[in-house]
Amino acid sequence: MKPPRHQVLCGDFAAYQDPEEEWTVEGFASAEAAQEYARRFIRAQIEDLRAEAPDPEALRAAYFGWGEYAATEGLDTEAWVAHCIANPATSPRDTNYQAIEP
Protein backbone atom coordinates (compact mmCIF):
# COMPACT_ATOMS: atom_id res chain seq x y z
CA MET A 1 0.00 0.00 0.00
CA LYS A 2 1.35 3.41 -0.99
CA PRO A 3 1.47 6.18 1.61
CA PRO A 4 -0.95 9.07 1.06
CA ARG A 5 0.34 11.84 -1.18
CA HIS A 6 -0.62 15.45 -0.90
CA GLN A 7 -1.08 18.07 -3.60
CA VAL A 8 -1.35 21.81 -4.22
CA LEU A 9 -3.76 23.30 -6.75
CA CYS A 10 -2.30 26.38 -8.46
CA GLY A 11 -3.81 28.79 -10.92
CA ASP A 12 -4.21 32.33 -12.13
CA PHE A 13 -6.75 34.64 -10.46
CA ALA A 14 -7.20 36.49 -13.77
CA ALA A 15 -8.66 33.26 -15.16
CA TYR A 16 -10.03 31.82 -11.90
CA GLN A 17 -11.17 28.21 -12.17
CA ASP A 18 -10.40 28.04 -15.87
CA PRO A 19 -9.08 24.49 -16.27
CA GLU A 20 -6.66 25.76 -18.92
CA GLU A 21 -5.06 28.03 -16.29
CA GLU A 22 -4.91 25.59 -13.35
CA TRP A 23 -2.31 22.96 -12.55
CA THR A 24 -1.66 20.56 -9.70
CA VAL A 25 1.66 19.98 -8.00
CA GLU A 26 1.50 16.44 -6.65
CA GLY A 27 3.62 14.11 -4.60
CA PHE A 28 4.14 15.89 -1.28
CA ALA A 29 4.87 13.39 1.47
CA SER A 30 2.80 15.26 4.07
CA ALA A 31 0.12 17.90 4.40
CA GLU A 32 2.69 20.13 6.08
CA ALA A 33 5.02 19.89 3.07
CA ALA A 34 2.18 20.78 0.70
CA GLN A 35 1.20 23.71 2.92
CA GLU A 36 4.78 25.02 3.04
CA TYR A 37 4.99 24.86 -0.76
CA ALA A 38 1.70 26.78 -1.06
CA ARG A 39 2.82 29.38 1.51
CA ARG A 40 6.08 30.03 -0.33
CA PHE A 41 4.29 30.14 -3.70
CA ILE A 42 1.78 32.72 -2.44
CA ARG A 43 4.50 34.79 -0.76
CA ALA A 44 6.53 34.80 -4.01
CA GLN A 45 3.50 36.13 -5.88
CA ILE A 46 2.89 38.87 -3.31
CA GLU A 47 6.55 39.91 -3.26
CA ASP A 48 6.57 40.12 -7.07
CA LEU A 49 3.59 42.49 -6.91
CA ARG A 50 4.79 44.55 -3.92
CA ALA A 51 6.87 47.02 -5.99
CA GLU A 52 3.88 47.80 -8.23
CA ALA A 53 1.38 48.09 -5.36
CA PRO A 54 3.17 49.23 -2.19
CA ASP A 55 -0.07 50.17 -0.36
CA PRO A 56 -1.52 47.14 1.53
CA GLU A 57 -5.00 47.46 0.02
CA ALA A 58 -3.61 47.92 -3.48
CA LEU A 59 -1.34 44.92 -2.98
CA ARG A 60 -4.22 42.76 -1.80
CA ALA A 61 -6.33 43.85 -4.80
CA ALA A 62 -3.42 43.19 -7.17
CA TYR A 63 -2.81 39.70 -5.76
CA PHE A 64 -6.47 38.66 -5.90
CA GLY A 65 -6.91 40.36 -9.28
CA TRP A 66 -4.04 38.98 -11.31
CA GLY A 67 -1.71 37.00 -9.05
CA GLU A 68 -1.38 33.25 -9.03
CA TYR A 69 -2.89 31.21 -6.23
CA ALA A 70 -1.96 28.00 -4.44
CA ALA A 71 -4.49 26.02 -2.42
CA THR A 72 -4.10 22.92 -0.33
CA GLU A 73 -5.97 21.26 2.49
CA GLY A 74 -5.41 22.89 5.86
CA LEU A 75 -4.05 26.23 4.59
CA ASP A 76 -6.02 29.37 5.48
CA THR A 77 -5.20 31.35 2.35
CA GLU A 78 -6.90 34.58 3.43
CA ALA A 79 -4.96 34.67 6.71
CA TRP A 80 -1.69 33.83 4.96
CA VAL A 81 -2.15 36.53 2.32
CA ALA A 82 -2.86 39.09 5.07
CA HIS A 83 0.28 37.95 6.91
CA CYS A 84 2.43 38.23 3.77
CA ILE A 85 1.14 41.69 2.96
CA ALA A 86 1.82 42.91 6.52
CA ASN A 87 5.20 41.16 6.80
CA PRO A 88 7.46 41.35 3.71
CA ALA A 89 9.75 38.41 3.03
CA THR A 90 13.13 38.73 4.72
CA SER A 91 14.97 35.83 3.11
CA PRO A 92 15.13 34.25 -0.35
CA ARG A 93 14.05 31.01 1.34
CA ASP A 94 10.67 32.62 2.12
CA THR A 95 9.75 32.65 -1.57
CA ASN A 96 11.71 29.68 -2.90
CA TYR A 97 8.89 27.22 -3.48
CA GLN A 98 10.84 25.49 -6.27
CA ALA A 99 13.36 24.19 -3.71
CA ILE A 100 10.71 22.02 -2.08
CA GLU A 101 8.81 20.89 -5.16
CA PRO A 102 8.53 17.08 -5.17
How many angstroms separate the CA atoms of 25 and 4, rounded?
14
Mean pLDDT of the chain: 93
In tens, the pLDDT along 75-89 reads: 999 999 999 999 999
CA distance 102 to 100: 6
- Residue 74's contacts (CB-CB under 8 Å, 6 or more residues apart) are 31, 35
Query: What share of the chain has pLDDT > 90, as a percent?
Result: 81
Q: What is the Cα gyration radius of the chain?
A: 14
Domain boundaries, the chain: 6-100
pLDDT tier for residue 3 given thresholds of 50, 70 and 90: low
pTM of the shown model: 0.91
